[in-house]
Chains A and B, each alone.
Chain A
Amino acid sequence: MRASNRRAVIAGVHNTRQARRLEEETSRSLMVKAVLGALDDAGLALSDVDGVSAMADSTSLIYDLGVGPAWQGQDFGAGMFAEAAAAVEKGYAEVVVLVAAQAGSYTDRAATAPWTRPENEFVAPWGMFTAAEFALIARRHMEVFGTTREQLSRVAATIRNNGDRNPEAIYRGRGPFKPADITASRPIAEPFHLLDCAMTSEGGCAAVVTTAERAGSLRRDPVHVLGAGVDFFGPSYQFPPSFDLRGRRDAPSNGWAGRRAADLAFRQAGIERDDVDVLELYDPFSFEIIRQLEAMRFCPEGEGGPFVEDGRIELTGSHPVTTDGGLMSFSHAGANPQMMQRVIRGVQQLRGDAGPLQVPGAHVALCTTGGAGALFTGVILLGDDLP
């Protein structure tokens, strides 16, 4: 199949140092390091950039980096890559740098991280925070389908064991973990225990999106954006996070957020679920992996628990998930960096850069961001070649 030269690719990626706390850094200093790192990875310079995507920071970065006139993106997570891909395919920009970073905003350890605390008057008085929002989704699934505490532990142990072996992970060398270790950790918001939950950390990351034509002469083999989609049900943490929340169309409920997005992404890519070699699933809490496997049709509804029990999601299994240790063990900085990092990990796997955690022969990666507890899920499919 002959592809259009304007097909979007990811030509460079970079993670700054990640740590529980980066005393000497600010969010801005990390953004600058990440941008320069990703451009260097691609073999490009700031003078090549004519697009910036950094949510609310896009416009000030265009000024501070001196890259105007430039296209600016506003989206986040998987949608951020989809938006940048559309921009280069349409010709609004040639080289877009996507960046996110966070340092210095979580210092009061008596409370949960500030971005997890809702301010809404119908939410805040009930002591809600992100773990509780996602726990309400998980508990409903356990009640309806019989998903077990042990199945949650199996997921968390798998992901934390990936992080244990990842030299770049903040929690490298903390394992190995057995499922019983997860269950034995202290309860946070049941069914979730401490080791079911993402950590909090600081760090930044960036990626470069350009056209296949432009990437042909660059330093690294490009990774193709094969397809993408995003499902939103409303703002995060302002309404009851109900599994059965649905809109007026005949479409999946919030519990299956990401199904429509995945269906769209696979249709654009012209590939099937079986073509996916590695699943860089967003892992804010252990249950979310089980839910996403069902939502994205890797297994039938209600069968995600049994699906994760037999080693399928481990690195050597048929559906290896979250191979850097994810939000639980690699890093979980701020709202957007840790989402971008799911996609960056997909790129690393397809370029053969995943070191001891490389999935052999990985040609297609599915990356996700978000979850039903936050009323949205985004999906992006990456390939080392076009199908």
Chain B
Amino acid sequence: MTTRLRAQTREVPHAVPSEVTAPFWDGCARGELLFQRCARCRAITFPPSEHCRGCLARGQVWEASAGRGTLYSWTVVHRPVTPAFDPPYAAAIVTLDEGYQMLTNIIDAAPDDLRADLPVRVSFRRVGGDLRLPYFVPA
């Protein structure tokens, strides 16, 4: 397969951020991949939450990830969820070097390049509207 996996170009579905999650998306707009770290126990919480998922304390601090990690699992999607998405695209879970996992899409790669533990790094791309999404590319 010679198809290259690319970022979406049109507007994709995106729920309105809440007070808790807005700093993450503000970070994306600046090109920073943020996560919450607990001021008390140092555990990382992602996706964001009011409480640390480790010790349940409030008062978590936003921190910038180095944006590097490895591919944990992926799926090359050929039947898009809605017509807003252009297939094929590779939905994926990456494990960041800081130790947490997030959903993303892998781009700038061929489907056959993908394998578990592939080193990846974040690459912010503007999709439709003002949204900047944290895609990942092979590192």
Contacts and interface: CB of A to CB of B under 8 A. Distances in A.
Given A121-B21, A240-B93, A243-B73, A110 B81 contact: no
A117 B25 CA distance: 21
B12 A188 contact: no
Contacts of B115: 143
B76 A239 contact: no
Interface stretch (A40-48, A91-99, A125-133, A298-306): A125-133
A112 B81 contact: yes
Interface residues of A, number: 38
Interface of A is mostly: loop
29 contacts: A111-B83, A112-B82, A119-B13, A123-B103, A124-B14, A124-B15, A125-B13, A125-B14, A125-B131, A127-B77, A128-B81, A128-B103, A129-B81, A131-B75, A132-B77, A132-B81, A135-B75, A139-B74, A186-B78, A186-B79, A187-B78, A188-B79, A189-B75, A189-B76, A189-B79, A190-B76, A190-B111, A191-B75, A242-B101
Interface string B4-33: 000010001111110001000100000000
Interface string B89-127: 101110000000111110000010001100000000001
B62 interface: no
Interface of B: 8, 12-17, 21, 25, 47, 72-83, 85, 89, 91-93, 101-105, 111, 115-116, 127, 131, 133
A195 B3 CA distance: 23
Contacts of B8: 127
A122 interface: yes
Nearest to B78: A187
A187 B83 contact: no
Contacts of A144: 116
A155 to B, nearest CB: 18
A136 B78 contact: no
B131 A242 contact: no
A293 interface: no
Q: Kindly list the 9 A-B residue pairs having the minimum CB-CB distance in the complex, ordered from nearest.
A: A135-B75, A143-B116, A121-B15, A140-B73, A129-B81, A124-B13, A111-B82, A127-B85, A190-B76
Contact of B82 (A110, A120, A121): A110
Interface string A211-252: 000000000000000000000000000111111000000000
A112 B13 CA distance: 14
A244 to B, nearest CB: 8
Contacts of A333: none
Given A112-B79, A122-B21, A127-B77, 6 more contacts: A121-B14, A127-B89, A131-B77, A143-B73, A187-B79, A188-B79
Given A125-B12, A127-B12, A143-B115, A190 B78 contact: yes
Contacts of A111: 81-83
Contact of B72 (A123, A124, A140): A140
Interface string A181-193: 0000011111110
Nearest to A248: B54
A127 B131 CA distance: 15
A119 B8 CA distance: 18
A374 interface: no
A316 B14 CA distance: 48
